[in-house]
Structure 1
Amino acid sequence: MKLDNFIAQMMESARLVQARDVSSATDVIQKALADAGLVAPNPARTPAATAEDDAAAFVDLNPAPAWSKTPQPRPQARARPARPARGPAKSPPPEDLPGKFIGGSFSCEAGTRRYKLYIPSQSTFTARPLIVMLHGCTQGSDDFAVGTGMNALAEKNGCLVLYPEQDGKANRNRCWNWFEASHQVRGVGEPELLAAMTRQVAAEHGADNARIFAAGLSAGGAMAAILAAEYPELYAAVGVHSGLAAGCARDLMSGLNAMKKPGRARALREGVPIIVFHGDGDHLVHADNGDAVLQQFVAVHAKAQATPLHVQHDEHQRGKRRCTQSTWRNREGRAVAEHWVVHGAGHAWSGGNPRGSHTDATGPSASGEMLRFFLEQAR
């Protein structure tokens, strides 16, 4: 199977890195991507390749959208291979919306990250909800905003939307480091940086502290689950799309294994409402991970009320995709968890805009359903 071969090659690259053979590890990564049809075969490596280019990377790739494809110049004699860009070659054209989409930077003891913030156009005398959107690997804030279409929904519903952006120096492929033990606990690493950024932006822009939410795709979805697990007093609900359970890995090797088969997720002390989206045709992060995320949070909700939750299953046809929606309700009848399985869908944001990367326009709108679920919640 494609996934089996891909994971095996990535695990071999990790073994080579541990053996300090980074050059061979990079060659294995490039071959894995080429065999999976995710990138063109890499040209022969030269002594000019830098140590940075040799660094092993955690991979989360889908075909690039049309806007990112630029004509390649013809090779000339004695031309040296160009160094791969650290960030996206381009950003998609911005959306034509009446609100403001501003950039900023946040620093704390845990580090520094850039971000973009969407501020809806309509004035209000009440505090606005704030949605924190965490992109997947190889993505950036502009790309994720366009691909998810969340800004347009936020404009209609009067929400602020914060897009933190991973730094290529922290992870070469701009993945949030969900698989590292040092980025899975409260008070340190990326979880602390993202939580502190959330608090500052919420304070500066008058967000409603009872309606702060987080959502993410793939590595971003896994980090959203960690934020919910470690900062339940801050985030009123979370959305995890094609992600993994909090604490299911401790390092790169166990993270790769978890992508293929969910690892044992830790029990949570406190749960927040959660909505999970996953395609059952996902070849990169197996759909069983969606079940693992869901059960991690359902278990703590059920324990809190000491009785089983009521679950309801519904079948839908949305666009060209069939999907199964499962809803867990507590004894007051409030939905505390939803699970959307999008049949036949791969590793991509469901109902997304094809102008952004990692999107599948043919399914239900993950952005619309997540926002609907979020706005039904209040701390």
Structure 2
Amino acid sequence: MRNISDTIARLSAMRGRPVGSGQSKDDHLSDMTGFGSNPGALRARLYLPENLPKQAPLVVVLHGCTQTAAGYDRGSGWTELAAEQGFAVLFPEQQRANNANLCFNWFVPGDISRDSGEAASIRQMIEAAVVTHGLDRKRIFVTGLSAGGAMAAAMLAAYPEVFAGGAIVAGLAYGSASTIPEAFDRMRGHGGPSRTELQRLLRQASPHKGPWPRISVWQGSADTTVVPANADAVLAQWQSVHGVGERPTRTEMVDSQTRKVWSDGQGRDVLEAYSIAGMGHGTPLKTSGDDGLGKAGPFMLDVGISSTGHIAHFWELTEPKLRRKANAETASGAALQPFAPKEKPRAVRVDPTPEPANARGTAGGITKVIEDALRAAGLMR
């Protein structure tokens, strides 16, 4: 007999939006197969611009709940920017068999640990893309929204030697939750590990001792789905390894929004945090003008500042003809070891998932999904 969680998940999956098998005309991504044992059972989608230069950078982009890789790309404009600047983009994509609402399983220890589950699948995709297309190991970056942002935080913690930089948009700190109830609490800003414990979790996630990726954090001040306290937790986690204090080196206004910056002892900007005034849950966009990118939609919020453009600039990807030589301050560039993860059968899970009720975002979507599923199963009136 199935347990209640499994039953709800299956009912929710039936009620969820269908993911079409055909490729739409505005889907610029190709499927990448045979990239490894894929213990997390994820789909890999890749974009390579025409005339990709040798040793080009790679950006890994993780979509949010209820989204697909192609949908998040249309909204965020990452492949649009990649075509202009000459870098590859990898989009891992969640499957409904793993999560009924297409969330990456950021709160499941077996999916965020080094060489395990979904984290291992993403790592395998990166390795396959680098080897197959001759990409630059010292210029690999990862970003994501919401559950994808939390999974980006997990990848940065589990494999810090792989990434030169990361960006977490409305996400959560690595290891902040390990159960469904904890995940709901953390999203709402309740409880969670202390600052010291967060830093311990990051240091123990891998054998890496530095140097560390530079981190960009983006948060809406009016986000009630993943509240701003989570951005503070992400910053606290990375301030220790970068040797910077809680107080920023400088605070400035960028596109009328507040940007805080932390610089290391060599004067290099290693952490930045944007607080978008009045914005709810989603990715900040600027879709018009010469620097416009992407398209507004659910969780893709046109608020006059392009997180995609500013993140790429922070990573030094968008300077004209930029082909800098990576050094020890960005990534170790150590040879990557082959994977041999222990694969286990996957179980369908119910996960905290912000359903797009409105542009500001709410935490009520998942509650409605569960209640509707329970009613359909005759378990609730």
TM-score by structure 2 length?
A: 0.72
Q: Contact 2:16 / 2:101 at 8 angstroms: preserved in 1?
A: no
Aligned match of 2:11 in 27, 43, 53?
53
Deviations along 1:295-322, one digit per CA (max 9) or x if unpaired, are 211121117xxx8886110123x3xxx4
Relative distance call for 1:178 and 1:266 in structure 2 (3 A) is farther
In structure 2, C-alpha distance between the alignment counterparts of 1:357 and 1:163, rounded to whole Å: 19
Aligned match of 2:62 in 118, 130, 134?
134
In structure 2, C-alpha distance between the alignment counterparts of 1:152 and 1:236, rounded to whole Å: 21
In the other structure, the counterpart of 2:102 is: 174
User: What letter is aligned with 2:15?
Assistant: P
TM-score by structure 1 length?
A: 0.72
Aligned match of 1:250 in 171, 175, 178?
178
C-alpha RMSD of the superposition: 2.7
Q: Contact 1:279 / 1:341 at 8 angstroms: preserved in 2?
A: yes
User: What letter is aligned with 2:243?
Assistant: A
1:360 matched to 2:301: yes
Offset of residue 91 of structure 1: 9.0
In the other structure, the counterpart of 2:42 is: 113
In structure 1, C-alpha distance between the alignment counterparts of 2:49 and 2:273, rounded to whole Å: 29
Deviations along 1:73-113, one digit per CA (max 9) or x if unpaired, are xxxxxxxxxx43454469996549xxx63222344152432
1:215 matched to 2:143: yes
Q: Contact 2:257 / 2:275 at 8 angstroms: preserved in 1?
A: yes
Q: Contact 2:69 / 2:93 at 8 angstroms: preserved in 1?
A: yes
In the other structure, the counterpart of 2:30 is: 102
Aligned match of 2:218 in 259, 263, 277?
277
SS in 2 for 1:209: coil
Relative distance call for 1:310 and 1:331 in structure 2 (3 A) is farther
In the other structure, the counterpart of 2:154 is: 226
Relative distance call for 1:308 and 1:85 in structure 2 (3 A) is closer
In structure 1, C-alpha distance between the alignment counterparts of 2:58 and 2:303, rounded to whole Å: 27
Q: Which has the higher contact order (CA 8 A, sep 6+)?
A: 2
Q: If each structure's strand is expressed as a fraction of its own residues, which one has the higher value?
A: 1
In the other structure, the counterpart of 1:160 is: 88
> Any stretches of 5+ residues in structure 2 without a counterpart?
204-208, 287-293, 318-325, 332-381
Identity %: 32
In structure 1, C-alpha distance between the alignment counterparts of 2:214 and 2:73, rounded to whole Å: 23
In the other structure, the counterpart of 1:84 is: 15
Q: Contact 1:302 / 1:309 at 8 angstroms: preserved in 2?
A: no
Offset of residue 266 of structure 1: 4.6
Offset of residue 156 of structure 1: 1.3
SS in 1 for 2:305: coil
In the other structure, the counterpart of 1:373 is: 314
1:338 matched to 2:272: yes
Relative distance call for 1:103 and 1:54 in structure 2 (3 A) is closer
Offset of residue 356 of structure 1: 4.5
SS in 1 for 2:227: coil
Relative distance call for 1:86 and 1:308 in structure 2 (3 A) is closer
In structure 1, C-alpha distance between the alignment counterparts of 2:57 and 2:25, rounded to whole Å: 23
In the other structure, the counterpart of 2:51 is: 122
In structure 2, C-alpha distance between the alignment counterparts of 1:369 and 1:356, rounded to whole Å: 20
In structure 1, C-alpha distance between the alignment counterparts of 2:103 and 2:40, rounded to whole Å: 15
Structure number, greater radius of gyration = 1
User: 157-166 or 346-355: which moved more?
Assistant: 346-355
Deviations along 1:321-354, one digit per CA (max 9) or x if unpaired, are x421001111111111000000101111101634
SS in 1 for 2:64: coil
User: What letter is aligned with 1:315?
Assistant: M
In structure 2, C-alpha distance between the alignment counterparts of 1:325 and 1:54, rounded to whole Å: 39
Relative distance call for 1:158 and 1:330 in structure 2 (3 A) is same
Q: Count residues with an aligned counterpart.
A: 298
In the other structure, the counterpart of 1:296 is: 237
User: What letter is aligned with 1:194?
Assistant: I
Offset of residue 168 of structure 1: 0.8
Deviations along 1:40-70, one digit per CA (max 9) or x if unpaired, are xxxxxxxxxxx72167xxxxxxxxxxxxxxx
In the other structure, the counterpart of 1:315 is: 253
Q: Contact 1:274 / 1:336 at 8 angstroms: preserved in 2?
A: yes
Q: Contact 1:22 / 1:54 at 8 angstroms: preserved in 2?
A: no
Deviations along 1:196-251, one digit per CA (max 9) or x if unpaired, are 11111111111100000000000000010111111011111100000000000011
Q: Contact 1:241 / 1:277 at 8 angstroms: preserved in 2?
A: yes
In the other structure, the counterpart of 1:62 is: none
In structure 2, C-alpha distance between the alignment counterparts of 1:250 and 1:272, rounded to whole Å: 24
Deviations along 1:115-163, one digit per CA (max 9) or x if unpaired, are 2211111342x30000000001111111011010011111111110000
